[in-house]
């Protein structure tokens, strides 16, 4: 039983430390710092994507240039059309060919316009993003320093509590303390709870028959539902 009262005083003191930890994690300083950090990480991925996209556009433009060169080459055939027709060539054949070429040029023009529009869009997006990233990068060291400063302002208080916790830990079964710390790191708090009417006072689940027997024998048990350490006062 004295083990339980020691654990309870430990937990009481530990709740003060938890409060400081929550003040730090819930602070504006941490939020601003964490937001900017996460933005910069995401922005770097996005900039990589935009770079890959612009590489794709360049490849596409290259292909369009090649097609244009091919058409230009074919158009050269028409330079000597007069001679060819005089030599008895089929004019209708060349007319059909010319119509096909004109269609190809039209399609090519439309495609070049689309690729150019997409290139413009990508460039604008990239530049806007870059501006934002540069601004965030400039801000980042200040935000980081402000967060560190805030943590430091709480450190002395936290250290004093930790020292008290160390002395309160004397006399607590190391195995129980290890279990306590494991639960604490799982964000369970409070960890030690009273049994009321054979139920966990935190989540309300009734104890099993085996656990009731253990409690009657003066032992502590673990709640099957919320995994807190339960004791009977
Ligand atoms: Zn419970």
SS3 string of 57-120?
HHHHHHHHHHHHHHHHHHHHHHHHHHHHHHCCCCHHHHHHHHHHHHHHHHHHHHHHHHHHHHHH
| Domain match, 130 and 231 both | no
Ion ligand 1 nearby residues (CB, 5 A): 200, 202-203, 223, 225-226
| Domain match, 59 and 105 both | yes
| Domain match, 96 and 198 both | no
Could you tell me the residue range of the domain that residue 49 belongs to? 23-170
- Tell me how far the alpha carbon of residue 26 lies from the centroid of ligand 1, in angstroms: 26
Q: Which of 170, 190, 217 delimits the end of a domain?
A: 170
pLDDT at residue 17, as a whole number: 97
With respect to residue 211, please indicate whether it lies within any of the assigned structural domains: yes
Per-residue pLDDT of the chain (233 residues; tens, 9 = 90+): 468 899 999 999 999 999 999 999 999 999 999 999 999 999 999 999 999 999 999 999 999 989 999 988 888 888 887 887 788 778 888 888 889 988 999 999 999 999 999 999 999 999 999 999 999 999 999 999 999 999 999 999 999 999 999 999 998 989 889 999 999 999 999 999 999 999 999 999 999 999 999 999 988 899 999 999 999 98
Cα separation, 191 vs 228, in Å, equals 5
With respect to residue 10, please indicate whether it lies within any of the assigned structural domains: no
Total number of domains in the chain: 2
Cα separation, 45 vs 119, in Å, equals 19
With respect to residue 94, please indicate whether it lies within any of the assigned structural domains: yes
- For β-strands 229-231 and 221-222, DSSP reports them as antiparallel
Cα separation, 132 vs 44, in Å, equals 11
| Domain match, 155 and 233 both | no
Q: Which of 145, 170, 195 delimits the end of a domain?
A: 170
pTM: 0.71
With respect to residue 15, please indicate whether it lies within any of the assigned structural domains: no
């Amino acid at each position: 039983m004295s083990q339980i009262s020691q654990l309870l005083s430990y937990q009481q003191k530990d709740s003060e430390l938890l409060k400081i930890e929550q003040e730090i994690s819930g602070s504006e300083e941490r939020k601003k710092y964490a937001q900017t950090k996460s933005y910069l990480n995401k922005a770097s991925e996005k900039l990589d994507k935009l770079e890959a996209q612009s590489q794709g556009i360049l490849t596409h433009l290259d292909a369009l240039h090649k097609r244009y060169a091919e058409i230009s080459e074919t158009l050269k055939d028409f330079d000597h059309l007069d001679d060819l027709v005089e030599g008895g060539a089929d004019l209708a054949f060349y007319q059909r060919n010319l119509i096909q070429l004109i269609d190809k040029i039209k399609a090519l023009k439309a495609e070049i316009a689309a690729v150019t529009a997409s290139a413009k869009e990508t460039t604008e997006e990239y530049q806007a993003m870059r501006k934002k990233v540069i601004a965030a990068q400039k801000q980042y060291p200040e935000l980081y320093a402000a967060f560190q400063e805030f943590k430091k302002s709480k450190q002395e208080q936290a250290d004093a509590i930790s020292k008290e916790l160390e002395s309160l830990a004397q006399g607590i079964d190391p195995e129980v303390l290890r279990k306590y710390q494991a639960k604490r790191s799982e964000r369970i708090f409070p960890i030690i709870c009273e049994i009321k009417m054979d139920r966990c006072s935190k989540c309300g689940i009734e104890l099993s028959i085996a656990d009731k027997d253990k409690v009657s024998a003066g032992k502590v048990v673990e709640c099957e539902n919320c995994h807190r350490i339960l004791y009977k006062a």
